[in-house]
Amino acid sequence: MDAQLAQYIPVLILLVLAGAVSGGMLLLAHWLGKAGRRTAAKDMAYECGMVPVGGGSTRLAVKFYLVAMLFILFDIEVVFLYPWAVVFRELLREAATANLIFWAMVSFLGVLFAGYLYAWRKGALDWHEPRRAGSPAAPNRSR
């Protein structure tokens, strides 16, 4: 096995250990736990003592999907920054590559920032819909 892969052996050992701890706890509690009676009230979804209304899965705001999409975009760009950060000082020492590595990343960050500003201007980062001039202070949602 090559050295690159061999350094992950301890991670594998830790994974087995962590899995054993989690799985062991689940099983142990399952065996040791006192079995109680099953009643209709006990099987009810907990909603602060009220009888649940409607099904379990509710509709959720589309804003959450938007956050997820923005996350994927920005997180990928963050990952691109890591290799650059690692080699940055090394390449700065050589006169031939110093300016290249700097300006390459400045332009990348520039594009990233332009996209960010666009998302902000479009209101993608606003959790509440932006209030437009002339609209009532509290939007009337009944209509």
Residues forming contacts to other proteins in the complex (CB under 8 A) are: 6-11, 13-15, 17-19, 21-23, 25-26, 28-30, 32-36, 38, 42-48, 52, 54, 56-58, 60, 64, 67-68, 70-71, 74-75, 78-79, 81-82, 85-90, 92-93, 98, 102, 105-106, 109, 112-113, 116, 120, 125, 127-128
| Least distance from other proteins to the Cβ atom of residue 81, Å | 5
| Least distance from other proteins to the Cβ atom of residue 136, Å | 19
Distance CA 87, CA 14 (A): 30
Q: Residues with Cβ < 8 Å from 84, sequence gap 6 or more?
A: 101, 105, 108
Q: How far is CA 117 from CA 66, 73, 75, 130, in A?
A: 16, 14, 16, 16
